[in-house]
Amino acid sequence: MSGNMFRDGAGLAADYFSVRAFETLRDRAAGRAEIAAHRNPEDVSVSSSRGAAVVVTYQFWESHLGSDPAIVGRALRINDRSYTAAGVLQRSFTGIRLGDTTDLYTSLCKAPDLLETRSWLARHWDRPRSWFLHMIARRSPEMTAEAMARSLDPVFASTREGTLKEPATAPRLRFQDGSHGLGGLRREFGNPFSVLLTLVTLVLLIACANIANLLLARAGARRQEVSIRASLGGGRARLVRQFVTRSLMLALAGGLLSIAVARPVAQAALTLLPAEIGAFRLDLSFDTRAAGYTLTLTALTRCCSGSTPRSA
């Protein structure tokens, strides 16, 4: 068996299947869903030649193939076997699994280690007791996940070999949303990252409170200036508008500066992760939601502390 097993409530869940289970489910689900399968990636060496088709990721195309616009049809040699580049995946595709580092995709029957006749995969490929495939399905609009599970559970049961001593423990199908990537990375690190986000928010609030104290002290020192502006005809609304504008400009400048330093700091933080975590390809591209959250919180704190005390 090759895959993930984890506790889900009172039972255990796993994400691997046999070739027989995959082929049977794929055929029996025709018209209701399109089912595909993949297996865990392996390390390979690549050079130039020609042969079976392989699709490369955008990152691999840029870093190893020189962004060659004529990549389609170009010969590659993977583990000393011939492959032909069939295309490049979109830049936005970051893998089937969350944090996936796979660079090359080919058909299961052309997997490099399957072509090695002495490999474990070649010797156990079609045995019912060899479970190593991970499946993903695109169901038809009229089919719900629950209906799919009910209709395919008997089919899945027919692919198992032998009888179970306790029928109640028989594995059953369960469908989960795969639109945000597969794998257990989010399940394993979701809570720690939530705690980290809470801590970051608290630190940001503390920093904003400290800045607010500085602004309050500065507001007291500028009381005479505000009085002179008011005596010269500056109304309350105009003074508040001036202070809010100044506060927003300072908040925007601080937010943009934080965005500039965020990426190198994040890259440096990845080097501190354990080896098994650092092997993941984590997306460190600009996130408008995180930036908007930070800028909004900073601007609100800056405006509240920068304008309200002065206009009182």
> Could you tell me if 50 and 150 lie in one domain?
yes
The pLDDT score that the predictor gives to residue 301 is: 62
Is residue 311 within a helix (H) or strand (E), and if so which, with residue range?
helix 288-311
Same domain, yes or no: 92 and 216: no
Together in a domain, 161 and 240: no
DSSP for residue 93 = -
State the pTM of this model: 0.55
Same domain, 12 and 159: yes
pLDDT higher than 60, residue 121: yes
pLDDT band at 274; cut points 50, 70, 90? low
pLDDT over threshold 50, residue 310? no
- Summarize the confidence of residues 159-187 as an average pLDDT: 77
Does residue 278 surpass a pLDDT of 60? no
Q: pLDDT band at residue 110, thresholds of 50, 70 and 90?
A: confident
pLDDT band at 252 (very low <50, low <70, confident <90, very high): confident
Residue 72 has what pLDDT? 93
Query: Is the model more confident about 3 or about 173?
Result: 173
Does the pLDDT of residue 234 top 80, yes or no? no
Q: CB of 236 within 8 A of CB of 280?
A: no
Evaluate whether residue 183 is within a structural domain: no
Alpha-helical regions (H) of 222-287: 223-231, 236-270, 275-278
How far is Cα 159 from Cα 24, in angstroms, rounded to an integer?
Answer: 7
Answer yes or no: do 242 and 146 share one domain.
no
- Contact between 29 and 156 under an 8 Å Cβ cutoff? The reply is no
Mean pLDDT (whole number) for 40-52: 75
Q: For the segment 183-222, what is each residue's pLDDT rounded down to a tens digit? A: 776 666 667 777 877 887 788 778 777 877 777 777 666 7
* Residue 171 exposure: Cα atoms within 13 Å on the Cβ side: 18
* Residue 185 belongs to a domain: no
Residue 253: both structure tokens together: 């400048």
Query: How far is the C-alpha of 143 from the C-alpha of 48, rounded, in Å?
Result: 45
Do residue 121 and residue 70 come from a single domain? yes
pLDDT at 182 over 60: yes
Give yes or no: residues 139 and 201 share one domain: no
Pair (107, 10) in one structural domain: yes
Write the CB contacts of 74 (distance below 8 Å, at least 6 apart in sequence).
48, 65, 68, 84, 85
In a domain, 186, yes or no: no
The pLDDT tens digits for 58-106 are 989 998 898 999 999 998 888 888 899 999 999 888 788 777 788 999 9
C-beta of residue 182 within 8 angstroms of C-beta of residue 134:
yes
What are the backbone dihedrals phi and psi of residue 97, each rounded to the nearest 5 degrees, phi first? -105, 150
Task: Decide which of 105, 139, 169 is a domain's last residue.
Answer: 169
Whether 155 and 246 share a structural domain: no
Same domain flag for 51 and 118 = yes
Q: Is the pLDDT of residue 49 over 70?
A: no
| 176, part of any domain | no
Average pLDDT, the chain: 79
Q: How many domains does the chain have?
A: 2
Q: CA angle, corner 221, sides to 216 and 222, nearest 5?
A: 95
Query: What pLDDT was estimated at residue 58?
Result: 92
- Residues in CB range of 181: below 8 A, 6 or more apart: 94, 95, 96, 97, 98, 99, 100
| Higher-confidence position of 5 and 82 | 82
**Contact (Cβ atoms closer than 8 angstroms) between residue 37 and residue 109:** no
d(CA 97, CA 54): 19
What's the pLDDT at 279?
56
178 domain residue, yes or no: no
Q: Which domain holds residue 280?
A: 191-311
Residue 42 lies in a domain: yes
Q: Higher pLDDT residue, 45 or 173?
A: 173
Please state, for a pLDDT cut of 70, what percent of the chain lies above it: 83
122-157: per-residue pLDDT in tens?
A: 888 888 888 888 888 888 888 888 888 888 988 888
Higher pLDDT, 168 or 102: 102
- Establish if 89 belongs to a structural domain: yes
What's the CA gap between 67 and 74, in Å, rounded?
A: 12
Q: pLDDT confidence of 299, banded at 50, 70, 90?
A: low
Instruction: Examine the domain organization and report whether 200 and 253 are in the same domain.
Output: yes
CA distance 18 to 129: 7
In contact, 47 and 75? CB cutoff 8 Å: no
> pLDDT band at residue 308, thresholds of 50, 70 and 90?
very low
Q: Mark whether 145 and 210 lie in a shared domain.
A: no
